[in-house]
Amino acid sequence: MKTRPLGETGHDSSIMTFGTIALNWLEQEGADQMVELVLDRGVNHFDVAPMYGDTELKLGPKLRQHRDEIFLGCKTQERTYEGAKRKLEQSLNRLGVDHIDLYQVHGLEYEEELDTITGEGGALEAFREAKDDGLISHIGLTSHSEPQLILDAIDRIDDLETLMFPMNPVVAGKDDADHDYEAVLERAAEEGIGTLGIKAFAKGPWPSTDELPEADRPYANWYEPVDTPREIEERFDFAAAQGLTSVVSMGDPKLMAMVLDAATRYDGMDESAQRSLVEKLRHDESPVPEQLHH
Amino acid sequence: MDVPTTVSTALEDRPVSGAVCLEAGAGVGNTTAGLLAAGASRVYAVTNDAAHAKAVSERVARAEPDRTAVLEADLRSLPLADDSVEIITAHGLFNVLPPESLDAVVGEFRRVASPGCHLVVDDYEPLPSDAAIRELFALENATSELARGRPALTFYPADVVRRLFVGDGWTFDREWTLLDPVPWTENHVRAHANVARSFASKLPDELGDQLAADADRLETAIGSESVGEMYSIAFQYPE
Ligand SMILES: C[S@@+](CC[C@H](N)C(=O)[O-])C[C@H]1O[C@@H](n2cnc3c(N)ncnc32)[C@H](O)[C@@H]1O
């Protein structure tokens, strides 16, 4: 699998990042096999979080066995110094390691949170202290929110080294400022910040729970995923071709082999094929009025 | 309104900002929106279809009344002065122009073009012979020929379009591939089947019913298909 420099961290990340939440749905033996599988295919960047059920515990054994082969990203939703410090300790304990490569502010949503995080007694103080103490090496941030908020975060966090945000052909086809993640990619490239793409495989939100109760969903994903080899490959290729450092895999373990296959075979994507995908999805969303052309 | 990537790509290397533009065959206004977004000083959006004129007015022109003029007119005799436009766009126009209209339309483009005018023609290459959707387009053309004596769709190869305009004095600038493959989604397939059904309804009952049933069958059988190529050719008229 190809690798790309993760910004200026000095690490070359595989173009697929293993979203370890997939382990949450497996028994320990299956979880161990999954880690061996992704490592075997050349994945060297893992992403975990404490709120993903038992994921940290299930990742632990194989993580410790292969600690040198894995660049480990973890994250916290805590916004204060005390909270973040506590969560980091907890993650280290649950993972059973003494070091996390990348620690990320998880799911930034509001401008006020940015004030808290960057202010006195904010989470970033705990991050920087941990960096000084050698518990973590790099600081990152993840967000599903408006691109402008992420741009503000770049301005306000000088030592920010990575960003994780949504990137897929549906988002890329929308022109408004609320979907302008291209601007984030450009800015990140200028600043030497590594970029990790989420929601690459999103087909759309799940139907309402009236239509499809949560318990009847066929996949353990936040969103309804594409699920054929061809679509998964198209989506992977598209996301990887936008200039992201790495594309984060889906939450459901059943689809992992297809994502790995797409990532292993990635060899660029022509711009005309990228546009083809954007246009296909734009028209799938039933534009009004009905159109004969593109 | 989101401007389709086909449109924004075709316009991205053209000097649209501040230009007076003719959007020839305005459809539902995608390129009109693209030209406005790229900073056109004025867009004449021309279509001979009243429903399209209304759609462009409502979707695009209403928000930009000072920069947009929707004209319900025939491209074969444009209600515009000689040498009056700086950019002409024909996005998805040529495939709906029957061969006998080409000469008049090309002549009008040249007449209204000011010296140095840019022309962008975006359209589809003929489909490969194994494309399933060819059968639907064949049915659309057959019903159109029977109902009104001309085809609904003609796919002119990029090379032919290039020779056509170069032969009329334009200088070839560049050719790009906008889409490869072209995603004919379920919505497109349904829209084309609807066209065939509407022509079929104008035919004698027995024939019309048969062709309408064919349209139903093809719509289901094809579903969606990604096939073919959409190109963008740019020309400039000598200063
Ligand atoms: C497929 S649409 C073009 C799409 C449009 N350019 C866009 O970007 O959304 C073709 C348009 O050409 C118009 N048209 C076809 N022949 C014409 C003619 N002879 N005079 C004026 N308009 C014509 C049709 O009415 C239709 O609005």
* pLDDT tens for each residue of chain A, 294 residues long: 999 999 999 999 999 999 999 999 999 999 999 999 999 999 999 999 998 889 999 999 999 999 999 999 999 999 999 999 999 999 999 999 999 999 999 999 999 999 999 999 999 999 999 999 999 999 999 999 999 999 999 999 999 999 999 999 999 988 888 899 999 999 999 999 999 999 999 998 899 999 999 999 999 998 999 999 999 999 999 999 999 999 999 999 999 999 999 999 999 999 999 999 999 988 777 556 678 999
Consecutive H or E run containing A165? strand A160-166
With H, G, I as helix, E, B as strand and everything else as coil, classify residue A104.
strand
Residue B222, both tokens: 């094809």
Ligand 1 mean position to B49 CA, how many Å?
8
A30 alpha carbon – ligand 1 mean position (Å): 58
Residue A175: CB atoms within 10 Å: 17
Helix (H, G, I), strand (E, B) or coil at A124: helix
Residues of chain B whose beta carbon is less than 8 angstroms from a beta carbon of chain A are: 2-6, 9, 27-28, 37, 55, 91-92, 95, 176-183, 185-188, 190-192, 194-195, 226, 229-230
State the Cα angle at A224 between B227 and B179, rounded to 5°: 20
The domain locations on chain B are 1-124+156-180+230-239, 127-152+186-223
What are the pLDDT digits (tens) for A189-204?
Answer: 999 999 999 999 999 8
Q: What is the pLDDT along chain B (239 residues), one digit of tens a residue?
A: 789 999 999 999 999 999 999 999 999 999 999 999 999 999 999 999 999 999 999 999 999 999 999 999 999 999 999 999 999 999 999 999 999 999 999 999 999 999 999 999 999 999 999 999 999 999 999 999 999 999 999 999 999 999 999 999 999 999 999 999 999 999 999 999 999 999 999 999 999 999 999 999 999 999 999 999 999 999 999 99
Contacting residues of A for B190, CB less than 8 Å apart = 290
Domains of chain A, earliest start first:
3-281 (3.20.20.100)
Distance from B239 to chain A by nearest Cα, in Å?
32
Residues with CB under 6 A from ligand 1: A 292-293; B 25-31, 46-49, 52, 74-76, 91-93, 96-97, 101
Of B55, B91, B177, the CB nearest to A289: B55
Strand partners of residue A115:
none
Q: What is the pLDDT of residue A283?
A: 78
Q: What is the pLDDT of residue A288?
A: 60
Question: Which residue has its alpha carbon closest to ligand 1 atom 26?
Answer: B27
The CATH superfamily assigned to B1-124+156-180+230-239 is Vaccinia Virus protein VP39 (3.40.50.150)
Cα dihedral: B33, A173, A176, B61 (round 10): 20
ipTM value, please give it.
0.79
Rounded to the nearest 10 degrees, how much is the dihedral formed by the CA atoms of A220, A226, A229, A235? -120
CB A239 within 8 A of CB A166: no
CA B196 to ligand 1 centroid distance, Å: 18
Cβ distance B179 to A174 less than 8 Å, yes or no, reads: no
